[in-house]
């Protein structure tokens, strides 16, 4: 496959012109020879190999020309994933998942109504970056802003009261969490808030003021009716109605829509408030208003494209053209290989590295370390690093840790390579349940690369696991490095460590991780151990003001 195949047509014309030029030169030589004397006499004076070598030199010239034109045509094979960048708006969807959302004053229920509306809204936000926050008595980011609308839909489809078990309606916490996450982006930013109640505990109006100062608009939708409805209690197995929720006095709880705070929040941020309608007309209006916001630069996702391979024919063509003048018309033929550089060993190592990466991508982890061992070279961290990744996949954590430990402590490596090695060492040690050593590894990664937010987050998670180790019989959600092998492709760049691994599959929020980091800093300053707060998702539910809905 060629990117510009019309160069191949030009190649045919160029080769025909070059062949014609050589034929014309041959005729001129014959005429000159005939003018000098009898052809038989002239032939005895010239070495017999001169004509063959002249034809050989002409063949080298034509081959070099053909290879150069083939490189211009842009040969492509193999597929690579590349990031696609496009301007986009940043939107967080904050959904109330408290028990009161099970009320059925809107069909089929408030929760299902909200999910149906959001599915329609997400289809209208294609091309923008969308995140999901669920809140009840506390708030948590279930999906950071992403251009993958289908992923956000899957998150929304699974929402329910079990998403946030703590009772209550923490609108203020949800807004602050969304504003903190959106402040790192430029361009238009908005929060779509869906809830059925008022919040008098987390200062939602103060959070609205914070959103307004950050330039974040809130578009609120009230789910429910002012008359309200009782909260149904259903069996876990078949979903049959078993009764209605009672308060502490034995009275049936009536959950009513509280619109005052929602309307005030929207007004203070320059947004708007709607009560959910049967035809979902407000969703189209929300999409229109978000579409009028300014777009900001961002990464919209990844796409597959063919890899350009023009360097191979171009290099061969230049070598052939450079070798042609070295072929004499008479005398001994020069050994061109003695005059050309011989990077055979280096080329062999690169070939072994690429072969190891190919085996790794095919999940043949037992075979790839052998190729990486052949590709070892001084001051080249890639073979050892990728070998450690393969051993990690094989769950040989001790061997993987030795690989990453050696790279991390090698002073000849760059700071980036050592930071990446410490990061993966921490991931490996967590899988081996050596949380104390993992904390040390993550701390070293942060010291070498302070801008690496993933290393800071994983350090906070490792500290929590060190203080509260999970039971051995239960499977613990651990950091997953999933670093891709290094090769000569655009990602990661050749000779540099792979990008940071995804965050651990853990529900610790960014705000919680920052609190843990500050606690660790204070402990190192004063020498006194301080309690590390538990994440919001691990606190036992506590009713506020006697209400648990």
Listing DSSP states for 42-100 in one string gives HHHHS-THHHHHHHHHHHHHHHHHHHHHHHHT-BEEEEEEEEEE--B-EEEEEEE-SGG
pTM: 0.44
Residue 479's nearest CA partner among 449, 456, 447 is: 456
DSSP letters for 265-297 = HHHHTT-EEEE--TT-HHHHHHHHHHHTSPPB-
pLDDT at site 220: 94
By the 8 A CB rule, do 252 and 229 touch?
A: no
CA angle 322, 326, 332 (to 5 degrees): 155
Express the helix, strand and coil content of the chain in percent, nearest 5 each: 50, 15, 35
The enclosing H or E element of 399 equals: helix 397-408
User: In Å, what is the CA distance from 75 to each residue of 2, 25, 311, 358, 495?
Assistant: 4, 33, 9, 21, 25
pLDDT at site 492: 32
pLDDT at site 511: 52
Q: Mind listing the pLDDT tens digit of every residue in the chain (549 residues)?
A: 777 887 888 888 888 888 888 888 888 877 776 776 666 666 665 655 667 777 788 888 888 888 888 888 888 877 766 666 667 889 999 999 988 888 888 888 888 999 999 999 998 888 888 999 999 889 999 999 888 888 888 888 888 887 887 888 889 999 999 999 998 888 889 999 999 877 768 889 999 999 999 999 999 999 988 888 888 887 776 567 777 888 778 888 888 888 888 999 999 999 999 998 888 889 999 999 998 988 877 555 556 677 788 888 889 888 988 888 887 765 544 444 444 444 555 667 778 788 888 888 888 888 888 888 877 776 677 888 888 888 888 888 888 888 888 888 888 888 888 888 889 988 889 888 888 888 998 888 888 888 888 888 888 888 888 888 877 644 434 444 444 444 433 233 333 333 333 333 333 444 544 554 555 455 444 443 333 333 333 333 334 445 556
d(CA 454, CA 460): 10
d(CA 488, CA 549): 56
d(CA 18, CA 5): 20
Cα–chain-centroid distance for residue 382?
20
Cα–chain-centroid distance for residue 345?
34
By the 8 A CB rule, do 276 and 223 touch?
A: yes
Residue 548's nearest CA partner among 224, 261, 258, 255 is: 255
pLDDT at site 322: 87
Q: Is 411 helix (H, G, I), strand (E, B) or coil?
A: coil
CA angle 234, 239, 240 (to 5 degrees): 70
pLDDT at site 530: 34
pLDDT at site 133: 94
Domains of the chain are: 6-75+310-330 (no CATH), 85-228+254-300 (3.40.50.410), 380-538 (1.25.40.10)
- Tell me the torsion sign for CA atoms 229, 230, 231, 232: negative
Q: Which residues pair with 254 in a beta bridge?
A: 230
User: How many Cβ atoms are within 10 Å of 375's Cβ, its own excluded?
Assistant: 22
pLDDT at site 226: 87
pLDDT at site 162: 79
d(CA 357, CA 385): 11
User: In Å, what is the CA distance from 72 to each residue of 75, 312, 403?
Assistant: 8, 11, 42
């Amino acid at each position: 496959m060629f990117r510009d195949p019309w160069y191949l047509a030009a190649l045919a014309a160029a080769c025909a012109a070059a062949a014609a030029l050589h034929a014309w030169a041959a005729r001129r030589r014959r005429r000159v020879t005939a003018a000098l004397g009898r052809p038989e006499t002239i032939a005895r004076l010239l070495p017999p190999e001169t004509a063959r070598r002249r034809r050989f030199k002409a063949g080298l010239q034509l081959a070099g020309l053909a290879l150069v034109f083939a490189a211009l045509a842009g040969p492509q094979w193999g597929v690579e994933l590349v990031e696609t960048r496009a301007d986009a708006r940043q939107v967080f969807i904050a959904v109330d998942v408290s028990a009161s959302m099970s009320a059925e004053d809107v069909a089929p229920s408030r929760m299902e109504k909200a999910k149906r509306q959001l599915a329609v809204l997400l289809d209208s936000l294609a091309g923008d970056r969308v995140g999901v926050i669920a809140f009840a008595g506390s708030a948590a980011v279930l999906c950071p802003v992403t251009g993958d609308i289908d992923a956000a839909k899957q998150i929304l489809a699974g929402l329910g009261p079990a998403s946030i078990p703590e009772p209550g309606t923490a609108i203020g916490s949800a807004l602050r969490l969304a504003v903190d996450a959106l402040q790192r982006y430029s361009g238009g930013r908005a929060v779509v808030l869906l809830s059925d109640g008022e919040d008098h505990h987390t200062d939602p109006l103060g959070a609205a003021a914070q959103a307004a100062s950050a330039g974040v608009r809130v578009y609120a939708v009230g789910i429910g009716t002012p008359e309200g409805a009782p909260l149904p209690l259903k069996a876990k197995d078949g979903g049959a109605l078993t009764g209605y929720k009672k308060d502490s006095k034995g009275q049936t709880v009536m959950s009513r829509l509280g619109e005052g705070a929602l309307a005030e929040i929207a007004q203070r941020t320059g947004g708007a408030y709607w009560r959910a309608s049967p035809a979902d007309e407000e969703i189209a209006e929300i999409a229109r208003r978000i579409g009028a916001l300014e777009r900001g630069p961002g990464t919209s996702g990844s796409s597959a494209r063919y890899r350009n391979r023009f360097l191979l024919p171009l290099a061969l063509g230049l070598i052939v053209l450079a070798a042609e003048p070295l072929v004499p018309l008479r005398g001994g033929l020069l050994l061109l290989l003695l005059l050309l550089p011989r990077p055979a060993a280096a080329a062999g190592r690169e070939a072994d590295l690429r072969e190891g990466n190919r085996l790794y991508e095919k999940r043949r982890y037992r075979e790839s370390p052998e190729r990486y061992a052949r590709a070892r070279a001084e001051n080249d961290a890639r073979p050892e690093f990728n070998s450690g990744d393969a051993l990690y996949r094989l769950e040989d954590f001790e061997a993987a840790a030795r690989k990453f430990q050696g790279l991390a402590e090698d002073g000849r490596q760059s700071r980036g390579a050592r930071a990446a090695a410490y990061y993966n060492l921490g991931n490996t040690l967590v899988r081996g349940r050596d949380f104390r050593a993992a904390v040390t590894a993550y701390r070293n990664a942060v010291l070498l690369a302070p801008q690496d937010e993933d290393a800071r987050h994983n350090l906070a998670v490792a500290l929590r696991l060190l203080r509260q180790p999970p039971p051995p019989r239960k499977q613990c959600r651990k950091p997953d490095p999933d670093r891709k092998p290094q090769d000569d492709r655009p990602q990661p760049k050749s000779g540099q460590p792979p990008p940071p691994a995804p965050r651990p599959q853990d529900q610790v929020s960014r705000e919680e991780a920052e609190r843990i980091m500050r606690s660790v800093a204070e402990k190192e300053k004063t020498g006194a151990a301080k309690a590390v707060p538990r994440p919001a998702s691990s606190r036992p539910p506590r009713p506020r003001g006697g209400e648990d809905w």
